[in-house]
Structure 1
Amino acid sequence: MTAAARDGILYPPASIAVVGSGQLGRMFIQAAQAMGYRAGVLSATPETPAAQVADWSVLGPPDHLPALRALADRAEAVTVEFENVSAPALRWLARRRVVRPGWRTLWTCQNRLREKTFLARHGIPHAPWRPVRTADELATAARELGAPLILKTASSGYDGKGQVLVKDPAEAADAWASLGRAPCVAEGWVEFAAEASVVVARGADGRAAAFPIALNHHENHILATSTAPAPVGPIVAMEAREAALAVAQALDAVGVLCVEFFVTADGRLLVNEIAPRPHNSGHLTIEAAYASQFEQQVRALCGLPLGSCDLTRPAAMINLLGDVWAGGEPRWERALEDPSVKLHLYGKKTPKPGRKMGHITALDETPEGALTRVREAKRRLMDKD
């Protein structure tokens, strides 16, 4: 670190950066700027959501050596907004600059085979699964897991992409073929009562803090709403936070990560996925928490003490997908008739069905009340009459 650092802490107005230029990078940059840092981005183009608000940009793909050199020249510390960043590229960068989370954390989480193996090795409860890399392994998975099961590509899948539901073992071969016979994991079917998540922040000193558990609702495999704190009872809420903190500790993650859970009808928690970066379900922390998930990402990257993950009030978030624009420009003023509603748009120019364009957050005395507020706000902005 330079003269702007002392005792491992990087002080404002030092220059820091994020690899990845979507909405998560955008909100990280905004949090860094609010704390006095100069924040840049490694972006494919100059018009991405993060590049629009950055103090500076380096243009290029995240595994392009000239772009990485330019990033190392301008940033004293670097983080990421998505997990599918080249681990060798991050390893190269980490020899020259502070990189958090480390490449090993991302390497584990960017591949479902490695992630499931990690969970099994550390005794963290998760859905039953089998590796599928050959036809013989596929047959074994279908026989041992039964049906229905879900085939998921080992890498590059998100928001339901790269997944196929197999209802009959006889359909397994065709399902795998539809995924290009890529390496996969086969997951046994879990009858869950709810889906939930916990966002964790962890510093380089090993100290960590967890936000309250959020209850998540998905539509067409895409997160639709998140509500926190989730109405799951104090024991499940405590166990979820403890499990998420255990994951962060076992990964030796530094930064922010999210652990997604299935919650069964009898209150058991099964880890579904790990995202080693801020998460869509944590967006409500911008308004609801003493320190948002993005501020925590800045703090952890720069070696600052973590802030409080406590919520000031219950909150809910609803995603705004490109479908909202189907009938023309949304009526934003109608959504904002409720003074508790906060609108976030990501600066994406082309709305497409299923594309995350923004979100709405509301606070209330109860989680249920906050959820009603965001749903009503979305309904009003789509009402063209």
Structure 2
Amino acid sequence: MKLQALHPGEWLGMLGGGQLGRMAVHAAQALGYRVAVIDPDKHSPAGAAADEHLQAGYDDAHALSQLASRCAAASTEFENVPASSLERLAQDIDVAPAGAAVAVCQDRAAEKAQFAKAGVPCAPHAVLRTAADCAAVDAALLPGILKTARMGYDGKGQRRVADAAELTSAFAELGNVPCVLEALLPLAAELSVIVARGRDGQIVSLPVQRNWHVGGILATTAVPASGIAPALQVQAQQQAQAIAAAFEYVGVLCIEFFVLQDGRLLANEMAPRPHNSGHYSIDACSHSQFELQVRAMAQLPLPQPRLHSPAFMLNLLGDLWFDAQGQRREPDWSAVLALPGAHLHLYGKTDPRPGRKMGHLTVTGASADEARAQALQAAQVLGLPQDGLV
């Protein structure tokens, strides 16, 4: 299949105005494209960076028509955009990823089915749609983690349940909506793999990333993936590519994996977009996840990314903007930027709130040990969690 590459100067569209969209806009503009963003927030990070911001809902028919008439291709920066909006755009322009693929990623039950289709193992689980399903659940799945099938992210929409009584209670607390119950497993590590796949089937992947979460939100990513056997890393990349190929995905896709204490690798979730754990690629790789997304949209070649610098990425949440007494303050950016290899990325959000992603810090070094030492200093200066650093 011969690709019909879009020429610099043409327009690309983005549904969603968050930080992922903002970084994708920057990558597109660096390659010479212009970008139009649909987002209802007039202060959205991506809207502020875009060449045009259409302030409207993601299902606004007029805004979608405007985007389709102006742009040659479009994408989304988060999975909860209506899949029907992507399908509407696809009637007139190229869309990557397709609405059908995004719809799979919006539903944890559909995700599990997609893993099975690709021959990739995941955690033992059950789909629960009613209270009766809870009562009939296999006892082998308890204790477990109950997750809403839709709209859950960053630890939201989840409850740990120890027994059948807690399961019934948690199902009610989550609104009696369809859920997935996963068996609680003995974890040794969490990994993610980001792949990019073109319309011609070409597929490349970033290095395997090791992740640490605090309160259900990503805190630290290390690349190379420290403490993970090379053979297991190859397996993770192969499985991520198999998942993408199984539903002919186009664009950037992130697969999150669990490594169990017995060494098994299980797929956990997937995201149809660039991912928080891949932000380090802007500063540490020959090609970032955002450039790969733009290339897939524009039907450009997908080069194999090369890690040129070991890196640690630290998430910067809104908590940093408040002292122990809850008073607003500005983090000591000068002290952080004095550290060799520190790359600060703030997303242009003016309203810091606890748990809100305000930016990230990538620390690169000549070696993993050097990057870790500098990242630890940065974490100490800012009062960040030191998970993965000590």
Smaller-chain TM-score bracket = over 0.9
Match of 1:271 in 2: 267
The letter of the residue matching 2:249 is: A
Match of 1:45 in 2: 41
**Counterpart among 232, 238, 256 of residue 236 in structure 1:** 232
Residue pair 1:330, 1:382 contacting (<8 A) in 2 also: no
1:174 counterpart (164, 169, 176): 169
Q: Which amino acid aligns with 1:341?
A: A
Verify the 8 A CA contact 2:16 2:76 in the aligned structure 1. Answer: yes
Which residue is 1:3 aligned to? Answer: none
Aligned equivalents of 1:146, 1:265: Cα separation in 2: 18
Counterparts of 2:303 and 2:3, CA distance in 1: 19
Please report how far the alpha carbon of residue 370 of structure 1 lies from its aligned counterpart in structure 2 after TM superposition.
1.9
1:14 to 7, 10, 14: 10
Distance 1:267 1:170 in 2: 32
Q: What is the CA distance between 1:254 and its match in structure 2? A: 0.6
- Determine helix, strand or coil for the equivalent of 1:9: coil
The Cα offsets for residues 106-153 of structure 1, whole Å up to 9 and x where unpaired, read as 011111111112222332110000010012211232x34342111100
Corresponding residue for residue 106 of structure 2: 110
- Aligned equivalent of 1:183: 178
Structure 1 segments of 4 or more deviating over 4 A?
none
**1:351 corresponds to:** 352
TM-score of the superposed pair, with normalisation by structure 1: 0.95
Q: How many pairs align? A: 377
CA contact (8 A) 2:141 2:182 kept: no
- Quote how far apart the aligned CAs of 1:365 are: 3.0
**What is residue 214 of structure 2 aligned with on the other side?**
219
Write out per-residue CA displacement over residues 152-204 of structure 1, whole angstroms, 9 at most, x where no aligned residue.
00100000000011012221111100000000011111111000100001111
Look up the SS of the partner of 1:10 in the other structure: coil
2:69 corresponding residue in structure 1: 73
> C-alpha distance in 1, partners of 2:214/2:82?
30
- 1:338 is matched by which residue type in structure 2? L
**Is the deviation greater in 70-79 or in 219-228?**
70-79
Once the two structures are aligned, what percentage of the paired residues are identical?
A: 46
Of residues 181, 203, 210, the one that matches 2:198 is 203
TM-score, length-normalised on structure 2? 0.94
Query: In the aligned structure 2, how far is the partner of 1:158 from the partner of 1:146?
Result: 22
Segments of 5+ residues of structure 2 without an aligned counterpart are 324-328, 385-390
Distance 1:309 1:266 in 2: 31
CA distance in 2 between counterparts of 1:197 and 1:377 reads 23
Asked if structure 2 preserves the Cα contact closer than 8 Å seen for 1:129 and 1:145, the reply is no
Asked whether the equivalents of residues 318 and 375 of structure 1 are also in contact (C-alpha less than 8 Å), the reply is: no
How far apart are 1:7 and its partner, in Å? 5.1
Asked if the contact 1:334–1:381 (Cα under 8 Å) also holds between the matched residues in 2, the reply is no
Alignment of 1:32 with 2:28, yes or no, is yes
Aligned alpha-carbon RMSD (Å): 1.4
Q: Distance in 1 between matches of 2:178 and 2:379?
A: 39
| Match of residue 189 from structure 2 | 194
Aligned to 1:164: 159
Rounded to whole Å, the distance in 2 between the matches of 1:30 and 1:86 is 24
**2:345 partner amino acid:** H
- What amino acid sits opposite 1:212 in the alignment? P
Match of 1:122 in 2: 118
Could you say if the C-alpha distance between residues 21 and 262 of structure 1 is closer, same or farther in structure 2, counting changes exceeding 3 Å? same
**1 CA distance for matches of 2:241 and 2:313?**
23
Distance 1:265 1:280 in 2: 25
Q: Is the 8 A contact 1:216 1:227 kept in 2?
A: yes
Superposed CA offset, 1:57-98 (max 9, x none): 111111121111111122111011011121222111101111
1:343, CA displacement in angstroms?
A: 0.2
